[in-house]
Amino acid sequence: MTVTLDLSHRRAAAADSPATVAPETAPARTSLVGLTLDEMREAVLALGVEPKKAKMRAQQIWRWVYFFGARDFGVMTDIGKDLRALLEVHHTLDRPEVIERLVSADGTRKWLIRSAPGVEFETVFIPDVARSGALCVSSQVGCTLTCTFCHTGTQKLVRNLTAAEIVAQVMIARDDLDEWPSTTDGRALTNIVFMGMGEPLYNLDEVAKAIDLISDGEGISIGRRRITVSTSGVVPKIEELGNRTGAMLAISLHATNDALRDVLVPLNKKYPLAELMAAIKAYPGLNNAKRVTFEYVMLKGVNDSPSEARALVKLLAGVPAKVNLIPFNPWPGTAYECSDWKTIHAFADIVNRAGYSAPIRTPRGRDILAACGQLRSESVKTRASVALKERLAAADTPT
């Protein structure tokens, strides 16, 4: 193997005492976690690996990262020592920082993750859902949409997450669950749902890239049929989602007529129910084995009457569908209440009798605000003008 070694930074650090090394001379090490194979190839090329060998080296590193969950270049025994040393100088295998980890009385785990200053988002692991454990991942910090019953909807969009930040959520959960290497036997984490913070279809490029990585059978290996993307109804992106990702589709429906849906999911004013249903029916690959999930949050006195259950059945006619009834999860400041259990069961019975599976989702992790719609981080988008003022003030401050 021919590699050009540039260990100058390392030598400088070793030769000088720490006090004499100016911090700005230290190389900025970047993490390889979350990179695609092509991006890893670019990274090894940049380290001077011969172009002929770059792909193979990238494949080796990729497998260490996504199949073995490696956290240290030292374990990469099929890669020469020189290249490992060089990797160590310029890169890390760090995950973004977990700033808070909470475990609910019911076993649900929630991580608050910070990937950059002011970029904080939540990921939730829900164990034992029908013998499978689902990881609920975020696609954005905050959300541009303002569904009135959703806590995330009260947090302005800070920014889209990158594919690397989405994949890192899975890596962090796997680390915590101790599920490396990536074997399929007896895993606790079997499914991924894009039901955390944000609207995935407003960040489709990064979501699709993340799904390619997560579903790759040589790495993390969670198949596309086990990945569900939930949308509040971004109609023009629904078909594209199917074509690009092959993921399962979930629709946050919550109402069966436009007047009510306009209030609960304001995006409905842009893409009303008739257009939404047409887009759903055209979802690529839809059949009885690949059904759409309709999420329906149960709001007391708002959308939970028997006549609304019948309207729901009518709306779903001809769609391979299942319904998920979600008891409303309260959050500080909300005006909504959760429907009574009797009302939810009566609603479920009507939908069930029409031939649709309509499980009532047991609220999980409510004690740690990890249940559906309770996620929110303190990150705020600083207006550019304010950020500029802050930078100028900092520059003026005598040290």
Binding site membership: which residues?
A: 143, 147, 150, 198-199, 230, 252-254, 329
Annotated binding site for S-adenosyl-L-methionine: 198-199, 230, 252-254, 329
Geometric angle at alpha carbon 315, from 314 and 319, rounded to 5°: 105
Taking the C-alpha atoms of residue 139 and residue 126, their distance in angstroms, rounded to an integer, is 18
Residue 80 beta carbon to ligand SF4: minimum distance, rounded to whole angstroms = 47
Token duo for residue 257: 């007529």
- Of 122-130, 141-149, 212-220, 337-345, the segment contacting ligand SF4 by CB under 6 A is 141-149
**Residue bearing tokens 């190389």:** 27
Does 344 bind ligand SAH (CB under 6 A)? Our answer is: no
Position 198 contacts ligand SF4 (CB under 6 A): yes
Q: Which of residues 119-178 bind ligand SAH (CB under 6 A)?
A: 147, 149-150
Residue 215 found at the interface with ligand SAH (CB under 6 A): no
**Region from 193-201, 281-289, 308-316, 346-354 binding ligand SAH, contact rule CB under 6 A:** 193-201
Q: Which does 372 bind (CB under 5 to 8 A by kind): ligand SF4, ligand SAH, none?
A: ligand SAH
Least Cβ distance, residue 152 to ligand SF4 (angstroms): 4
Q: How far is the CB of 150 from ligand SF4 (least distance, A)?
A: 3
Pick the catalytic residue: 122, 165, 295, 308? 122
Number of Cβ atoms within 10 Å of the Cβ of 204 = 20
> Which C-beta is closer to ligand SF4: that of 108 or that of 152?
152
Nearest approach, Cβ of residue 5 and ligand SF4 (Å) = 48
Active site residue 372: yes
User: Segment 240-299, which members bind ligand SAH (CB under 6 A)?
Assistant: 252, 295, 297
Residues between 244 and 283 with contacts to ligand SF4, criterion CB under 6 A: 252
In the bound state with ligand SF4, the residue whose beta carbon lies nearer, of 70 and 201, is 201
122 is catalytic: yes
By CB under 6 A, residue 233 contacts ligand SF4: no
Q: How far is CA 243 from CA 25, 69, 239, in A?
A: 46, 29, 6
DSSP code at position 378: S
DSSP per residue over 97-155, as a string?
EEEEEEE-TTS-EEEEEEEETTEEEEEEEEEEETTEEEEE--SEES-S---TT-SGGGS
- Nearest-approach distance from CB 132 to ligand SF4, in angstroms: 23
Distance linking the first and last C-alpha atoms of the chain? 49
Nearer to ligand SAH among residue 36 and residue 140 (C-beta): 140
What distance in Å separates the CA atoms of residue 266 and residue 300, rounded to the nearest whole number? Answer: 19
Q: Does 115 engage in binding with ligand SAH (CB under 6 A)?
A: no
Interhelix angle for 235-245 vs 204-215, to 10°?
Answer: 20
211: contact with ligand SF4 by CB under 6 A: no
List b or e across 226-265, with b for residues whose CB sees 16 or more CB atoms inside 10 angstroms.
bbbbbbbbbbebbeebbebbbbbbbbbbbbbeeebbbbbb
In the chain, the amino acid numbered 372 is C
At closest approach, how far in Å is the CB of 173 from ligand SF4? 20
Question: Cα–Cα distance between 226 and 203 in angstroms, integer?
Answer: 20
Which 354-383 positions form the footprint of ligand SAH (CB under 6 A)?
Answer: 372-373
Calculate the CA 324 to chain-centre distance: 20
Smallest distance, ligand SF4 to C-beta of residue 266, A: 9
- Give me the sheet containing 132-136, strands edge to edge: 97-103, 109-116, 119-129, 132-136, 189-194, 227-231, 248-252, 292-298, 321-327
Asked, as a colleague might, if the bond just before 181 is cis with ω within 30 of 0, I would say yes
The answer to whether the CB of 379 falls within 8 A of the CB of 142 is yes
Contact residue for ligand SF4 among 65, 87, 150, 173 (CB under 6 A):
150
Task: Name the residue type at position 185.
Answer: D
Q: 119-129 and 132-136 as β-strands: parallel, antiparallel, unpaired? A: antiparallel
Q: Which is nearer to ligand SAH, 167 or 372 (CB)?
A: 372
Q: Closer to ligand SF4 at the Cβ: 36 or 232?
A: 232
**Is residue 338 part of the contact set for ligand SF4 (CB under 6 A)?**
no
Residues that bind ligand SF4 (CB under 6 A): 143, 145-147, 150, 152-153, 198-199, 232, 252
Residues that bind ligand SAH (CB under 6 A): 147, 149-150, 195, 198-199, 230-232, 252, 295, 297, 326, 328-329, 331, 372-373
Residues with active-site annotation: 122, 372
